[in-house]
Amino acid sequence: MTRPTAAPGLALVLALASLPAIAAESPRGSNEIIVTTTREEALRAETPISISVVGSDEIDLVRPGHPSEILNRVPGVSVQQTNGEGSIVGIRQPIGTAPVYLYLEDGVPVRASGFFNHNAMYEVNLPQAGGIEVIRGPGTALQGSDAIGGVVNILTRAPSEGPELQTLFEAGDYTWLRGLVSASNTWGDFGGRADLNVTHSDGWRDQSGYDRQTITLRGDQALAGDGRLKGIVSATNIDQDTGALSYLSEDDYRNNPERNYTPFAYRKVKSARASMDWEQAAGDGVMTVTPYLRWSEMDLLPTFTLAFDPVVYTTSYYSLGALVKYRQDFAPWNTRLIAGMDLDYSPGSREEDRIWATRNGPVYESYTNQGRIYDYDVTFSQVSPYVQVETSPVENLRLTAGLRFDVLGFDYENNLADGAFETQNGPTSPVRVFYRPEDQTVDYERLNPSIGATWAFTPTFNGFLSYKQSFRVPQEGQLFRQGANLDSTNLKPVKADSYEIGLRGTPVPTLSWELSAYTMTKRDDILTYNDGSGPTQTNNGETSHDGIEAAIGWQFLPEWRLDVAASKSDSKYEEWVAFVNGVNVDFSGNTMPSAPEHVGNVVLGFTPGRLDGLSVEAELVYLGSYWLNDANTEKYDGHNLVNVRLNYETSGDWQFFVRATNVFDTRWANSAQVSNGLPQYAPGMPLSFYGGVSRKF
């Protein structure tokens, strides 16, 4: 493996001195406004939580082709590309697909909690977003199931005050083509905006191309009495070959990284969402009601199960829901009471067929459909009341306490025969026994408290501490796509207890910093093992997650800016005994796979005063080594990547830009694993160039 050129302790050194990366904006300060924690504007300095903000200026500067290009600038966040704009994510958790994150668009969950998908961000129009807020660790009482590792809230862009039309065209290596069009205006009390994103790539690996079309519409209407309406309609269509995540042997990874062992794999996603946010002030109170509709459908032939569980399937669901919130302010102690309820009703289905794949050496060349093995309807429902109180009994102290009661459940109906059935991976493979649950209802209830405090040492220096409980229910596929499990419908929710302490400061207008430390324990963690008959999931695990996160933004000269984000973390199995090949194997005490100890991001920006409109930045993305298996016998050595971006804006509102990713053409892996005792790697993109032009009218 290619070893990182930076010292392994780089991220720790940075973590002891640093904070968030935002190359195009002024340093973040104590008075920064956030919206994710309470679904309305709040001061970051009074929020006992680690939250980072990426502004629209930074999104416009970076022009991310993938969410990793913008989110990896946040301390403690590691996003890796799978296929197209698909992602595996690590925020205070190992990098992977686990349903421990909550993805929002203007505060509305992108997907229903029971239908989590780790690729949820590609259903949102991120390149044209108005901002991104990232909560690291569990959310507040206003967020529920799935908000364990973190919350990512992608904010839509508000309508412009006057007529505005912006077009962007970008081209790059591997037939990368992207067109972005935005039109906006305000007429009296109404403002409207339309954003269109059309993207195509042939992919740098064999048969790994993708196409996407996304449209986002937003309308804002001012109402009498400080009221407002905000309506959002968005739709996305994605058609991609999933060869970009095809794992390779170490020899092919080093010498033939363009190879694709699974050339016929695919993922096709269609989604649409609509919401109407109504807010009305009444004295010292504000009422907010946000009804929403959702629909999503995915056709998938996954690469990651071809070796042991080859299938093709379709999942879909639609949602009717509402977020209801009332906020009341009281003069004594500057007290604020927030009470509300989240409602969700999401009927869905799964249709899955067994396939037999024909293999020539390591390459799967074709497949035949062997018929339906799962066909069921399942409805997820949620009723979640909550209350949160904020108060300041003394001048510099802000106390926050919240309580959320989640009532969640699934109503499941099997459309095939119940019980055991036989299946094979191929004509020469052994016969295996799988199971289908009988019709049933599965319900969960959970009361989760949270408490925190912030202290303003000075107007530009504050600290916080917090304790939060959180949980997430098993997903519909874990419960009812039973496989070889004998008791999948008895899976329990994962529970987490998180403690956190942090400091934040803006000592001078040109410098901002933050430092936070956390410890989290997850009980009844749903862990997976494979005893040779297929993967089995169980609740018998307990895991711990500890770390330090730091960031700094420093305008050290009028033309030069440095932004650093870094973290040091440790994710361990406190208790994990798996039944593998007829033997109990104890992994307790081992480090969890795909959990790098060090993650870092450094951006050096230059805006020369003698050439107005020019900005240049160089970025270092550092990912430390991590184990590839539970036994901690194989390791990926990590990588350093360097990216460069150049933007030039003319006085006539033309913008010209170029960017180069992985400028030293480093061999690196998006992800890695152990299969049949040998390491395998999904190679990341080599040196790539992109360029384009944008015009505002």
**Residue pair 660/643 in contact by the 8 Å Cβ criterion:** yes
- Would you place residue 279 in the very low, low, confident or very high pLDDT band (cuts 50, 70, 90)? very high
- The confidence score (pLDDT) of residue 398 equals 96
**Residue pair 129/56 in contact by the 8 Å Cβ criterion:** yes
Q: Reply yes or no on whether the pLDDT at 9 is more than 80.
A: no
- The confidence score (pLDDT) of residue 580 equals 63
- Please write the tens of the pLDDT for every residue from 473-503: 999 999 999 998 888 999 999 999 999 999 9
Q: Reply yes or no on whether the pLDDT at 8 is more than 80.
A: no
- The confidence score (pLDDT) of residue 533 equals 56
Q: What is the mean pLDDT of residues 214-223?
A: 97
Q: What is the mean pLDDT of residues 49-73?
A: 94
Q: Reply yes or no on whether the pLDDT at 293 is more than 80.
A: yes
CATH number for the 10-696 domain, one of 3.40.50.300, 1.10.1740.10, 1.10.10.1150, 2.40.170.20?
Answer: 2.40.170.20
Classify residue 486 as exposed, middle or buried by CB count within 10 Å of its CB (0-12, 13-18, 19+).
Answer: exposed
Q: What is the mean pLDDT of residues 269-294?
A: 95
DSSP 662: S
Which residues does 676 contact at the CB level (< 8 Å), separation at least 6?
A: none
- Please write the tens of the pLDDT for every residue from 426-441: 998 899 999 999 999 9
Radius of gyration of the chain (CA): 25
One-letter-per-residue 3-state SS of 227-261: EEEEEEEEEEEEEEECHHHCCEEHHHHHHCCCCCC
Candidate from 1-15, 545-559, 614-628, 646-660 with smallest mean pLDDT: 1-15
Q: Which residues pair with 167 in a beta bridge?
A: 181, 695
The residue ranking higher by pLDDT, 647 or 143, is 647
CA distances from 340 to 38, 362, 391 (A): 11, 54, 18
- CA 94, distance to chain mean position in Å, is 13
- The confidence score (pLDDT) of residue 243 equals 80
Q: What is the mean pLDDT of residues 192-204?
A: 97
Q: What are phi and psi of 438, to 5 degrees?
A: -80, 165
DSSP 428: T
Q: Reply yes or no on whether the pLDDT at 171 is more than 60.
A: yes
- Would you place residue 571 in the very low, low, confident or very high pLDDT band (cuts 50, 70, 90)? very high
- The confidence score (pLDDT) of residue 532 equals 55
The residue ranking higher by pLDDT, 520 or 11, is 520
3-state secondary structure of 599: strand
**Percent of the chain clearing pLDDT 90 (strictly above):** 81
For the beta sheet containing 50-55, the strands, ordered from the edge strand earlier in sequence to the opposite edge, are 50-55, 131-136, 150-155, 101-105, 108-109
Q: What is the mean pLDDT of residues 462-476?
A: 94
Buried b / exposed e over 61-87, threshold 16 CB at 10 Å, is bbbbbbbbbbbbbbbbbbbbbbbbbbb
Farthest CA pair distance, the chain: 75
Q: Reply yes or no on whether the pLDDT at 163 is more than 60.
A: yes
Q: What is the mean pLDDT of residues 655-677?
A: 94
**Residue pair 111/120 in contact by the 8 Å Cβ criterion:** yes
- The whole model's pTM is what? 0.93
- Would you place residue 194 in the very low, low, confident or very high pLDDT band (cuts 50, 70, 90)? very high
Distance CA 353, CA 308 (A): 14
Q: Reply yes or no on whether the pLDDT at 211 is more than 60.
A: yes
The residue ranking higher by pLDDT, 365 or 9, is 365
| Nearest alpha carbon to residue 611 among 646, 659, 568, 658 | 646
| Nearest alpha carbon to residue 130 among 85, 209, 191 | 191
Q: Reply yes or no on whether the pLDDT at 292 is more than 60.
A: yes
- The confidence score (pLDDT) of residue 484 equals 86
- The confidence score (pLDDT) of residue 582 equals 65
- Please write the tens of the pLDDT for every residue from 10-52: 333 333 333 333 333 333 444 688 887 888 888 888 899 999 9
- Would you place residue 5 in the very low, low, confident or very high pLDDT band (cuts 50, 70, 90)? very low
| Nearest alpha carbon to residue 587 among 635, 632, 627 | 632
Candidate from 302-311, 595-604, 622-631, 632-641 with smallest mean pLDDT: 302-311
Q: What is the mean pLDDT of residues 205-220?
A: 96
3-state secondary structure of 186: strand
3-state secondary structure of 162: coil
- Would you place residue 308 in the very low, low, confident or very high pLDDT band (cuts 50, 70, 90)? confident
Distance CA 130, CA 151 (A): 17
The residue ranking higher by pLDDT, 65 or 1, is 65
Strands (DSSP E) contained in 361-428 are 363-391, 397-414, 419-423
Q: Reply yes or no on whether the pLDDT at 215 is more than 70.
A: yes
Q: Reply yes or no on whether the pLDDT at 387 is more than 60.
A: yes
- The confidence score (pLDDT) of residue 353 equals 97
Candidate from 16-30, 157-171, 526-540 with smallest mean pLDDT: 16-30
- The confidence score (pLDDT) of residue 583 equals 72
- The confidence score (pLDDT) of residue 511 equals 96
DSSP 207: T
Distance CA 636, CA 625 (A): 5
Distance CA 540, CA 71 (A): 32
Q: Where are the domains of the chain?
A: 10-696
- Would you place residue 676 in the very low, low, confident or very high pLDDT band (cuts 50, 70, 90)? confident
